[in-house]
Chains A and B, each alone.
Chain A
Amino acid sequence: MQSNRIRLGIVMKKIDWIIGIIAITAVLFVGSAFGKTDYCIQCHSEMDDSPKSPAVLIKSDIHYQRGLSCADCHGGDASKNDAEEAMSPKKGFVGKPSYRQIPNFCGRCHSDVEYMRKYEPKLRVDQLQLYWTSNHGKMLKKGDRRVAQCVSCHGVHNIKSIKNPQSPVNKINVPATCAKCHADKKYMHKYNIPTDQYAKYSRSVHGKLLLEKRDTSAPACNSCHGNHGATPPGLASISAACGECHGINRDLYNKSPHKEPWAELGYRQCVQCHDYHLIKELTDEDVGVGNNAVCIDCHDKGDGGYEAAFRIKASLDSLKYDIRIADSILAKAKKSGADVGELTFELGEASKGLIEARNRVHSFSPDVVGEVTSASMQKINIVIELGNDSLKALWHRKIGLILTSFLILLVAGLLYLKIRRVEKKK
């Protein structure tokens, strides 16, 4: 019995050995068939602290995910197990680039049209060229090692696609990424530029949309300043920067009577009224000659601009008043049971004139604004008239109902009397 057990044990051990050998052979075979060992990653993974980090971070790097590895940037031979051999300059090993070298280091591939086409044909290849035109690039060339270069914004070894929400240059993260340096008073001290841009932007109409409502159609820093070629828009190009999105307003401004005199006076186009970074959501009260109006910052009573501002505000107010009246009439008619669906639609269409009129304020011409407000008011007046008609019709219905009810009760009463008479006779 016992010898049987021992024999069984020996047989089992033999089987274990056979399985083990088969498994190792299979792993080696599969390993050699499907990929070579990357000794850069393997060796660095076994190190501590700083040398280890690239080997860990690279797993989440877009380059690694697309099939590139350490040696594709740093050179050397990743297939060699021996450190000296693997990092031999003879094998093209360049090691860690210096701070100044980084832009050109990345640009070796990112400026190469043919090379980039293999990975992402739509990706631009002018980043390096743009970078050298930026303030950052110019200062780096002069030897300033505190200005931003590629890795300052994109990160290093764990670079992610800009579409990735975790990327520091994903649109929603751009303001915070720029603020890392630009909101740091100590860091920016040397450059003598303000550090409140991020705080102001966060409170602006754009910042609230992007950061609070996560609306990526709202602009981040790079939308106005450019990204790789980041530079403050010059005085003359402010309306061009804003006009990227607000094209109609830009065109109206360029044709407006403000354009030339403001250029001569050195006024800052859009920013003159709307401010910058802390771009406010203007209301109709900011237009005209009221206490809150921006127009009276420059225009005094008696001058042409003051009168124009007054007339523009009056046009907007008249249209809004008409919309309010039409709204209340339709609400009343609807509450009373009239079908005002079509009129509500008409009013909605006519009310779009208010949006256009507000845009046209950028022409600074009462006639241009008045043209659209008058057309809308004409349409709204028809709605008001028809709305009143339906209210009148409802009133007629009520009168009709009272008369009919009276008539019906009268006939019912007469019938009752008739019954009594018929039954009395009997």
Chain B
Amino acid sequence: MMGDSFKKVYNWLDERIGLKPIEELAKHKEVPVHRYSFWYYFGGMTLFLFSVQVITGMILLLYYRPSAGTAYESVRFITTQVHFGWLIRSIHSWSANLMVGALFVHMFSVYLLKSYRRPREITWLTGVLLLFVTLGFGFTGYLLPWNKLSFFATKVGTDIAGSIPIIGNTILVFLRGGKEVTGATLTRLFGFHVMVLPLTIFLILGIHLYLIQKHGMALPVREARKEKEGEKIRTIPFLPNFLYRDAIGWILVLGILVFLASVFPWELGEKADPLASAPAGIRPEWYFMFMFQTLKLIPSKVLFIEGELLGILGFTFGGLILFFVPFLDRKSNKLEENRLFTILGVLVILYMIVLTVWGYAV
């Protein structure tokens, strides 16, 4: 009886929007099984945490009031008065951090497995864009509670952007909505956080996910070579085997989120006071720490270039290399091992870890 009604609904929908092709795709989607299959889960994990962000973000929007006079108070209201408000806010903050973490793991695993090679170049490009948008989410969201630490971190962050020659000042004024970090900055970053960036991320994410469905899971170079040589690669069906495995990961991460949010509720800190002097220990969020620490370590003048500018140029150059990796690595396209790129990737990971730990240690 139940099955009949389901079929009726399915048929009704299929006639109108065409569900059959999707069903066919899902039925035939296979996921390769090899020693690196574990890393396949991190893309889905990032997507899951992104969904958590969307849902908790929408709930927070019901109470959050974006202005210098009300932002801090409204977040305080959410955490103290709204039923489960503390949980939602804490999950939103923790999930944001776990999402960036999962994203980094996903990106570096894709990089080290050289999954960006032909024909997945655009998947990689959209992926790097997603990373930038996500970091944008992190930067804009950090200021929203309007507390002391986030206020000064935003000031420092936008100051750094302002030190870029020629366009720096324009970027600074655009980000701050004026020359200083004020209520106008808060409103502006709020607009980015809840409208501009979400629309952008949905668009890019749509392309990214479509391309993943189109090309399927990429094989590591060695496995791809074996396949090319005619060896059969073991696979499991995406539905339901891989999805169930994915689901276990998601549900465990949900558990971790609930645990973190309950046991280590995200602190609100003190309200920002634009007239107060900067507190000691201003630091950006952890995923910007390696860049912040680098800028701190570079001498104020290197030859004839300003140290800070050199750092910014360095990171811009690094970002461009990251973006164009699929076009720089020719060897992987020929299914040859590219040791240089692997070593480079590992060095970058080590650099980021060491500088981040260093940043927190001093």
Contact = CB atoms under 8 A, between A and B. Distances in A.
Contact of A408 (B76, B255, B263): B255
A423 B33 CA distance: 14
Contact of A419 (B245, B251, B252, B265): B245
Given A337-B264, A397-B262, A401-B258, A422 B251 contact: no
B258 A342 contact: no
B79 interface: yes
Interface string A383-426: 00000000000000110110011001101100110110011000
Nearest to A401: B262
Given A419-B244, A419-B245, A409 B80 contact: no
A35 interface: no
Contact of A339 (B76, B87, B251): B76
A408 B254 contact: yes
Interface in B46-96: 76, 79-80, 86-87
A337 B262 CA distance: 9
B255 A405 contact: yes
Contacts of B264: 337
B251 A415 contact: yes
Interface in B220-268: 236, 240-241, 244-245, 247-248, 251-252, 254-255, 258-259, 262-265, 268
A341 interface: yes
Contacts of B247: 415
A339 B248 contact: no
A405 B236 CA distance: 29
B268 A339 contact: yes
B252 A408 contact: yes
Nearest to A398: B262
Nearest to A423: B241
B91 to A, nearest CB: 12
A413 to B, nearest CB: 9
A423 B254 CA distance: 25
Contacts of B258: 401, 404-405, 408
Contacts of A412: 248, 251-252, 255
Contact of B76 (A341, A409, A418, A422): A341
A301 B133 CA distance: 80
Contacts of A418: 240, 244
Contact of B262 (A400, A416, A423): A400
Most buried by A among B87, B251, B268: B251
Contacts, number: 50
B interface secondary structure, majority:
helix
Interface string A173-193: 000000000000000000000
B147 to A, nearest CB: 12
A interface secondary structure, majority:
helix
Interface residues of A, number: 20
A419 B248 CA distance: 10
B141 to A, nearest CB: 20
Nearest to B245: A419
Contacts of A342: 80
Most buried by A among B236, B254, B255, B268: B255
A400 B245 CA distance: 26
Contacts of A337: 263-265
A416 B248 contact: yes
Contacts of B251: 408, 411-412, 415
B93 to A, nearest CB: 13
A401 B244 contact: no
A416 B245 CA distance: 8
Interface in A255-295: none
B259 A401 contact: yes
Given A339-B76, A339-B268, A409 B255 contact: yes
Nearest to A404: B258
A353 B247 CA distance: 58
Given A339-B79, A412-B252, A415-B251, A405 B244 contact: no
A337 B252 CA distance: 24
Contacts of B80: 339, 342
Contacts of B254: 408
Most buried by B among A398, A404, A408, A409: A408
B223 to A, nearest CB: 21
B347 to A, nearest CB: 36
Interface string B209-227: 0000000000000000000
B248 A415 contact: yes
A408 B252 CA distance: 7
A334 to B, nearest CB: 11
A339 to B, nearest CB: 5
A324 B258 CA distance: 34
A414 B262 CA distance: 25
B56 to A, nearest CB: 15
A194 to B, nearest CB: 51
B94 to A, nearest CB: 13
Contacts of B263: 337, 401
A398 B252 CA distance: 18
B245 to A, nearest CB: 6
A385 to B, nearest CB: 16
Given A408-B254, A415-B251, A422-B244, 16 more contacts: A337-B264, A337-B265, A339-B76, A397-B262, A400-B262, A405-B259, A409-B255, A412-B248, A415-B244, A415-B247, A415-B248, A418-B240, A422-B240, A422-B241, A423-B236, A423-B241
Interface of B: 76, 79-80, 86-87, 236, 240-241, 244-245, 247-248, 251-252, 254-255, 258-259, 262-265, 268
10 contacts: A337-B264, A341-B76, A400-B262, A405-B259, A411-B251, A412-B255, A415-B247, A416-B248, A419-B244, A422-B244
